[in-house]
Amino acid sequence: MFAVIRTGGKQYKVAKDDIITVEKLLGEPGEKVQLGDVLMLGEEGKAPTVGAPLVQKAAVTAEIVEQGKGDKVIVFKKKRRHNYRRTKGHRQEQTTLKILEVSATGTKAAAKKTAASKADGAGGAKPAKKAPTKKTAAKKETAASKTAAKKTAAKKAPAKKDSAKDTDKE
């Protein structure tokens, strides 16, 4: 099964175990990313499913292999007979993805995530945060009132001085 996905303003045709380079996506290497903008799904021997504009409930699951930068692009500007030349370089940030699964319903990927989260939640329950005590709340209030007093003192306008022009007229 293959899919046509959209990410970073570009379209990519992907299948399971493909490795593609896309514009930067948030995440660390080893994390799984779900790409939901599936424009088309296809399978050998069957008619493709084309979305309008997206295929409903379809998803592509991928793993981030690495974060990096692309090749350098040189930007050169010149205006003839004006002695104007500017050279700049640019390297676009990129993410390399390995496609793990192409799902028409998106249920397989969601089931795996919920099973993993249930397993994590059962073994290691985190303690709840304590509510702030009266002393810490009082400290915060006094600190806030001190900063407010400083701001009001700083906003006062300086006293006006008589200018030399006013004394000359009298």
Contact 66, 98 (CB under 8 A): no
Residue 49 near residue 13, CB atoms below 8 Å: no
Per residue in 113-123, pLDDT tens? 544 444 444 44
Q: How far is 136 from 139, CA to CA, in rounded Å? A: 5
- Range of 75-84, 133-142, 147-156 with top mean pLDDT: 75-84
- The 10s digit of each residue's pLDDT in 50-109 is 988 898 989 999 999 999 999 999 999 999 999 999 999 999 999 999 999 998 887 664
Quick check: 94 and 68 in contact, CB under 8 A?
yes
Contacts of 164 (CB under 8 A, 6+ apart): none
Residue in the structure block whose two tokens are 């006062």: 156
Q: Residue 71's CB: how many other CB atoms inside 10 A?
A: 8
pLDDT at 109: 47
Cα separation, 20 vs 15, whole angstroms: 10
Q: Cα 61 to chain center, whole Å?
A: 18
Contacts 24+ apart (CB under 8 A), 122-128: none
| Mean pLDDT, rounded, for 27-34 | 94
